[in-house]
Structure 1
Amino acid sequence: MQTIFKEKTYKNFINNEWVDSPSQETIKSINPANKEEAVGYVQSSTKQDLDRAVEAAHQAKKSWRKIGQAARGQFLYKVANILEENLEDIAETMTREMGKTLPEAKGETARGVAILRYYAAEGMRKDGDVIPSSDKDALMFTKRTPLGVVGVITPWNFPVAIPIWKLAPALVYGNTIVLKPATEGAVTAAKVVECFGKAGLPEGVFNFITGSGSVIGQALVDHPLLNAITFTGSDNVGKNVAKSAAARGIKFQLEMGGKNPVIVANDANLDLTVEAVINGGLRSSGQKCTASSRVIVHEAIYDEFKTKLINEVSKITVGNGLSAGTWMGPCASESQFNTVKEYIEKGKEEGATLVYGGEVLTGEEYANGYYIKPAIFEEVKSEMIIAQEEIFGPVIALIKATSLQEAIEIANDTKFGLSASIFTTNISNLLEFVEEIEAGLVRINAESAGVELQAPFGGMKGSSSGSREQGEAAKEFFTAIKTVFIKGS
């Protein structure tokens, strides 16, 4: 039996209270599978709301730091347990809000639980090192110290996992938080915030505010009491965040997407490769920063690979993510839907050949949703827009290469460098790929999308500011090193 939902208005969470914005305006969140259905409403906040949130975090930062890393870890364990108890509800909300299939949404929420527990355990791990001193009568060591108030700006495509992989390390390492999620995923984010609220964190440690990026996001980056900003989102917005943060001299961390290549060598296992390309390129309707968008195939096996790929893509069921048997849901919003359509038209105009799909799906099942059939282009040249710009949709561009060396050159011919993969059974091929590819995440005989929570995640070139998220690497961003020298009197 399908759950009957009641539309709800979610407030801002400031200083451990759920509060309305004085603007008295709200933003409606639409179900992309049925645009006539509202998932809920969030606050259209003002700079006044933001000032309250940042001030609350500023007032709480000293006491939060002083309770110690172990105690902070215990709070994260509590949040993890509460999130796990609410997994079904949060996952279903995610599917309704941004279109991801229910199994994917459950998997993402479970990943959020795992991330919280991973960083909760950081509460009992070391926060520094002892260093030999040239003075035999002295003790010298380092310790990690929190940055202070950290702004967290997150996208809509992973409304549970991305906020949590930023929030959890920031909190356990002693920072206080102001979270601003993308409005398209803000209802799901609010449900995650409810879990933090129920865990009983001290007042002001965790604050949540919704609203437009141009108003709230920019004001957060520019706020004089902010000590650091971590951002995941579009390339253009990320560059503006970097400029603002650099001008103020605060620490910033950016993850800005990719144009991720998959190289298919002439000795690849094609069945394995086709499955991985489809999963990596089309799961979540291609709305992943690590999605496989360019598939560079050796000319010797190109035709066979293309035939197998089209055959398997034709089996994909597109529909409402809550429906059993749906493999791919709609685009997450009208804006993203229109963007994908525009890129498909650009591909045609540039001279690429659309060999499969790309049309808007119609009929009763699709009438009120943002549905596009997965698209496959061939005869794509590296300089084409569809081979250079991030589409963030279910579009795969096939590019033919005469050698591994040419394939790597094509793969590197982009401003992005987030993830990349190769399919080969030749160890020399994979070693050359690992050495030459310009990407922060390199995968062999596996899809380009995805990363394990205990491993560093981030890109090269225009994909990232260079610092890494997740795993132990998160400590490098969310803390500063203090060197201590002690000598007896």
Structure 2
Amino acid sequence: MIQEELKRLGLNEINEGTSTGQNWFSNGEILESYSPADGQLIGKVKASTKEDYEKAIASAQEAFKTWRATPAPLRGEIVRQFGEKLRAYKADLGKLVSYEMGKSYQEGLGEVQEMIDICDFAVGQSRQLYGLTMHSERPGHRMYEQYHPLGIVGVISAFNFPVAVWSWNAALAWVCGDVVVWKPSEKTPLCGVACQKIIQEVLKENNLPEGISVLINGDYKIGELMSKDTRVPLVSATGSTRMGKIVAQEVAARLGKSLLELGGNNAIIVTPDSDLKMTVIGAVFGAVGTAGQRCTSTRRLIIHESIYDKVKDAIVAAYGQLRIGNPLDQNNHVGPLIDKDAVNTYLAALDKVKEQGGNIVVEGGVLEGAGYESGCYVKPAIAEVKNELEIVQHETFAPILYLIKYSGDVENAIELQNGVAQGLSSAIMTNNLREAEKFLSAAGSDCGIANVNIGTSGAEIGGAFGGEKETGGGRESGSDAWKIYMRRQTNTINYTTNLPLAQGIKFDL
């Protein structure tokens, strides 16, 4: 357990009905949070009912009246203060992320650092919400575009990044003048409560309404309420493609906006001109980091036939050095899956690999014995497969790496890489400039992220994050991703005493 960290985060008294920093208590079913690291109960919170949801929306609506009128640089100052609080709480929050979700402590710290980084980015963005000025065809007229806040931004986040993805959305939405209603994963509710308490500290210290940031714990029913709610103009949802399609249809039915970050089936192409050491590091971390539970995890390794055996042997040897165990022990490389349902999905996928003709190179399985009492620890597995196998075409959120052989030119490898329904992250390992540029061209990778000589896993705050096809097409974090959180308005000002019409139309009275 991590009692001291919970205490410092204000979670030492988490129980049935503990407040999440808001002025009301939730009244729904009890959500129990068990750590996949050791199977221990961390704490309990109550889910939100429909009535609780209405209170949350009402609080957000009222806060929006104040927040939208606050100058953007001042909104940025609040986000800056939030980033400073995160720096102070980094070690404790990082450990909670690790313990409740199961990723390594270093990855937990890295996730909180992503939160800090997006705050820094958003602070600068608060002074750069630029519009455009255009010349009018009518004399004595001026035209320009400006951006205004949308209102309530609904965020539905997934368990694998229980705090970072919310912050990507929230930091930008806040500087844009929006308020945020957040439904974290019911598998990691305490991470959500901890973040809510931190931002509420900042809001209270600045005499700002708590509805600027609202937390609503619960299952898919809360997501359904949010998706159908016309008072929530934008819903940002991260999770499976199946979930994203449901959210997209519900939001589109009311002509709302959705930002979707869904499944990935990410590949690294390994050409004869690749650096073997770099390839092994990128592929192994991409495949086993977070126990294969990243949307950018490496699922497929597409290797040229001339170096296939050499690369395969090196990857298999690296897997033999992996240490699997408690994620709070920094000597371990791989922690547990999130729960036993995830374990069953992993085992079912390995069975399908065998049924569909794949060859298991590194056997998987569930680990048992001392240190593995939670039943959520599994062995990272490797299989030789054909790209067209049904199981390969789908994302399995677990540490299973598929080795695929290609022949001929890099175009053949790119065709294999693009030959799946998902389009999130991709990479090529090569020192051949022509191959690299081909991969990055319009005829190359069809993914939202395309890397050269680094793996598929991970992303920097400065670049827009997201993917194409069944990944959803959304973009979060850096670049001009802020625009999704605002509505664009075109303005025309006539500063004359006449009223000429556009296109030279005459309308004399």
Correspondence for 2:151: 148
For the pair 1:69 / 2:72, whether they are aligned, the reply is: yes
AA of the residue aligned to 1:452 = E
Correspondence for 2:397: 392
Q: What are the superposed Cα offsets for residues 372-398 of structure 1, whole Å, 9 maximum, x if unpaired? A: 0110001x0112133111111111000
Correspondence for 1:377: 383
SS at match of 1:319: coil
Q: What are the superposed Cα offsets for residues 298-321 of structure 1, whole Å, 9 maximum, x if unpaired? A: 000000000000001110100001
Matches within 5 A, 1:130-141: 130-141=133-144
Correspondence for 1:340: 346
For the pair 1:26 / 2:26, whether they are aligned, the reply is: no
Q: Distance in 2 between matches of 1:395 and 1:47?
A: 39
Correspondence for 2:420: 414
AA of the residue aligned to 1:284 = T
In the comparison of the two structures, how many residue pairs are matched?
A: 483
Deviation at 1:108, TM superposition (A): 1.0
Match of 2:83 among 80, 84, 90: 80
For the pair 1:166 / 2:163, whether they are aligned, the reply is: no
Q: 2:267, 2:300 within 8 Å by CA — same for their partners in 1?
A: yes
Matches within 5 A, 1:263-278: 263-278=269-284
TM-score (structure 2 length as normaliser) = 0.92
Correspondence for 1:296: 302
AA of the residue aligned to 1:419 = S
Q: Distance in 2 between matches of 1:422 and 1:256?
A: 22
Correspondence for 1:437: 445
Correspondence for 2:194: 191
Aligned-residue identity in percent: 33
Q: 1:7, 1:39 within 8 Å by CA — same for their partners in 2?
A: no
Correspondence for 2:459: 451
Q: Distance in 2 between matches of 1:291 and 1:324?
A: 20
Q: Distance in 1 between matches of 2:447 and 2:330?
A: 36
Moved over 4 A (4+): 1-7, 10-14
TM-score (structure 1 length as normaliser) = 0.95
For the pair 1:225 / 2:228, whether they are aligned, the reply is: no
Taking only aligned residues, the RMSD between alpha carbons, in angstroms, comes to 1.7
Q: Distance in 2 between matches of 1:467 and 1:102?
A: 29
Q: 1:262 to 1:53 in 2, by over 3 A?
A: same
Q: 2:265, 2:420 within 8 Å by CA — same for their partners in 1?
A: yes
AA of the residue aligned to 2:31 = I
Q: Distance in 2 between matches of 1:266 and 1:13?
A: 58
Q: 1:231, 1:238 within 8 Å by CA — same for their partners in 2?
A: yes
Q: Distance in 2 between matches of 1:295 and 1:351?
A: 18
For the pair 1:211 / 2:214, whether they are aligned, the reply is: no
Q: Distance in 2 between matches of 1:218 and 1:270?
A: 47
Q: Distance in 2 between matches of 1:74 and 1:188?
A: 24
Q: 1:29 to 1:246 in 2, by over 3 A?
A: same
Deviation at 1:33, TM superposition (A): 1.4
Q: Distance in 2 between matches of 1:18 and 1:357?
A: 52
AA of the residue aligned to 1:389 = H
Q: Distance in 2 between matches of 1:52 and 1:91?
A: 30
Correspondence for 1:472: 479
Q: What are the superposed Cα offsets for residues 411-447 of structure 1, whole Å, 9 maximum, x if unpaired? A: 1111101111001111111121112211110000100
For the pair 1:483 / 2:487, whether they are aligned, the reply is: no
Unmatched segments (≥5 aa) in structure 2: 7-11, 497-509
Deviation at 1:327, TM superposition (A): 0.9
Unmatched segments (≥5 aa) in structure 1: none
Q: What are the superposed Cα offsets for residues 291-346 of structure 1, whole Å, 9 maximum, x if unpaired? A: 11010100000000000000011101000011130111010122212211111111
Match of 2:183 among 174, 177, 180: 180
Q: 1:10, 1:43 within 8 Å by CA — same for their partners in 2?
A: yes
Q: Distance in 1 between matches of 2:180 and 2:274?
A: 46
Correspondence for 2:468: 460
Correspondence for 1:401: 406
AA of the residue aligned to 1:41 = K
Q: What are the superposed Cα offsets for residues 97-130 of structure 1, whole Å, 9 maximum, x if unpaired? A: 0111111101111121111121022222243122
Q: Distance in 1 between matches of 2:366 and 2:382?
A: 14
